[in-house]
Structure 1
Amino acid sequence: MNDLDIRLVRCFVAVANERSFTRAAERLRIAQPWLSVQIRRLEEHLGFQLFDRNRTRAVIVSPEAESFLPVAQDYLVAAERAAASARRIRDQAAVYLNLGAPDFSADMPTRTAIIDGFLARHPRYEIEIHNAWTVELLKRLGEGEIDMAFTVGPHVDPHSEALVLGRYRLGLLVPMERVRTARQPLTLSAFAGEKVAIFRRNVNPAFHDSVAPILETAGISLTYLPESSLTAMLQFGQRTGIAVLIGEWQRDVPHMPDNFSVLALDEPSLSFNLNLVRRTGDRRPAVTALWNFAAQSLRVAA
């Protein structure tokens, strides 16, 4: 005999307890003819008759069914316990959050403060950061590979919602000699006719399109970084001597080369949002907890 279909067993127990196909169908919220079909299927599977109807249309439980009923009830109870256990495991797993973020955002004070503060308040939660650029992060978020994401630039994804955590300014990574001789902040016109390396458009189209026209209007020739990680940006600047568009906050990061620094620019429009993003309508406990903590942190800071 093959394994019992729990749906058929549930139908049998309902009829046996109610002693009525009509009341059992109402209890199960199914059509009575369909319930009768399920009982016949179970009888064929078991090899014995479960019910009979006398002339008054009363449901008679067969002796075999009377013997089978306690076992069937235990079977349903065990199934419910298994389902409840699975739900508990799932709920416990919900305190584990997969977050996406660009690798350079690890140096952003706002991101660090939110994650550290959240974990201090919720010690049972665990967070793993997955690094990628914003376009890839939004793709992974939509496909359910990550739970939430820190993104940069304008938020234009229609399938998710964003909480703006703060604004950060951009600067230029240049040799230290240029920083020493320049009065800061420096206008973009000082770089007219020069090359500036920026990230490729495909890694964040909205962000790129908010920055590139400003540089080009100032007479700057754009060249593109072959690799967009922070380490690659630093290596590119050292290797080529070309100024690199980079976050102004990164001036003081420990891994900044001694012979390079970040030059502040007198250009307020060269700034961008740091966002916390979740799928629209995602109200899972862990996601909601981090979202609410971040929102509360913004209110306190204000």
Structure 2
Amino acid sequence: MRTDSRLIQMFVAVADSLSFTRAAETLHVAQPWLSSQIRKLESQLGFDLFIRDSRRVALSEQGKALRGPARAVMRSLDEFSICASMLRIREERPLLRIGLPPYSHLFAKRVALLERFAQLQPKIQIEIVLGWSPELVERVTAGSLDMAFVVGDVIDPALEYQLISHAPCTLCFRSDDPLAALDIVRSSDLRGRTILAFERGLNPPVHEQLFGAAQRAGAVLQVDHEMMSDVWLQHILSGDVIGLNFVRKPPAQLRDRLCSRPFADATDIALRLVRRRSAQQPAAELCWQVARGAGAANDSAKSAS
């Protein structure tokens, strides 16, 4: 007996949620129709998959036995779809539109991920759009970008994300600065000091995450449009100012003139890859899978170390 893969997908959705209503929402179908399709599958199989009463839905013993094989079928179908996309790409010249923050090249894992993807899929054209994270998120949501690397938290039910990298916040200042005598700098140590910052409107949540505690403690923020660039380092060297850094390491030739210390009152900054939850075009799906594979490899390496 052969079973329609669509019916298997419906069975898995109900088995995972134990709710016909929630499963119908996930599958974007009407609940009565979903119930009728599950009845159709049960009729084909010759036994009940679920125990239904007025209060709950539970798997029958046969349903419990079939849940694992059904999930394996769905994984195989996903692999089939990815393979088909890769074969189709060989015959096409698809375009992947991806957004990047202007300083994202400083995240080594982001650079390695796109280089890996370009090696695996040389026929895919990659169109890069630079912008600040809130703007990139809006463009992904609107559909003008397939995906984007963004800095900071992403809270949007229409989007899904993968964590690519995260970095602690450090303060950068001249080696002769009194702060160099400290092992860790706290906001109270920055009262009256000038900190180079980007404009708050460019990314308000990350601005608060980086500079909020210091500003409330009495630090003075000075807008610097060259954040974490070589020019930014020169601004630190030439004046009595401090830079707040979460990814840039001073070049070797400046390390005797510059000093970095952990900043106790700013949490780690995260770099994420975001995309819409709706169906993806093949090039975007392949890039997402490469990112997921890189994340799994990193998790395995951490477990082994």
Q: What TM-score do the two structures reach when normalised by structure 2?
A: 0.59
Alignment root-mean-square deviation, CA: 3.1
Deviations 1:217-237 (A, max 9, x none): 444232332455735533543
Matches within 5 A, 1:206-285: 206-226=205-225, 228=227, 230-247=229-246, 249-253=247-251, 257=254, 261=258, 263-267=260-264, 269-285=266-282
Q: 2:294 aligns with which of 288, 294, 297?
A: 297
CA contact (8 A) 2:107 2:165 kept: no
Secondary structure of the residue that 1:103 maps to in structure 2?
Answer: coil
% identity of equivalent residues: 25
Shift of 1:285: 1.0
CA contact (8 A) 1:161 1:280 kept: yes
> Which residue of structure 2 lines up, in the alignment, with residue 106 of structure 1?
105
CA contact (8 A) 1:186 1:265 kept: yes
**What amino acid sits opposite 2:128 in the alignment?**
I
Matches within 5 A, 1:21-36: none
Secondary structure of the residue that 2:249 maps to in structure 1?
Answer: helix
Work out the number of aligned pairs and report it.
212
Secondary structure of the residue that 1:211 maps to in structure 2?
Answer: helix
Structure 2 portions without partners, runs of 5+: 1-87, 300-305
> Which residue of structure 1 lines up, in the alignment, with residue 55 of structure 2?
none
Structure 1 portions without partners, runs of 5+: 1-87
Shift of 1:144: 3.6
State whether structure 2 residue 185 is matched by structure 1 residue 186: yes
Secondary structure of the residue that 1:136 maps to in structure 2?
Answer: helix
Q: Aligned equivalents of 1:103 and 1:177: distance in 2?
A: 31
**What amino acid sits opposite 1:171 in the alignment?**
T
- Max Rg structure: 1
Secondary structure of the residue that 2:248 maps to in structure 1?
Answer: helix
Secondary structure of the residue that 2:290 maps to in structure 1?
Answer: helix
CA contact (8 A) 1:173 1:260 kept: no
Deviations 1:193-217 (A, max 9, x none): 2121221111112212223332234
> Which residue of structure 2 lines up, in the alignment, with residue 124 of structure 1?
123
Q: What TM-score do the two structures reach when normalised by structure 1?
A: 0.60
Deviations 1:136-167 (A, max 9, x none): 22233334433211100111345432212121
**What amino acid sits opposite 2:213 in the alignment?**
I
CA contact (8 A) 1:103 1:230 kept: no
Q: Aligned equivalents of 1:126 and 1:184: distance in 2?
A: 47
Secondary structure of the residue that 1:250 maps to in structure 2?
Answer: coil
Deviations 1:22-70 (A, max 9, x none): xxxxxxxxxxxxxxxxxxxxxxxxxxxxxxxxxxxxxxxxxxxxxxxxx
Q: Aligned equivalents of 1:239 and 1:131: distance in 2?
A: 29
Shift of 1:99: 1.8
Deviations 1:65-120 (A, max 9, x none): xxxxxxxxxxxxxxxxxxxxxxx89x8242x3222111211011111221122223
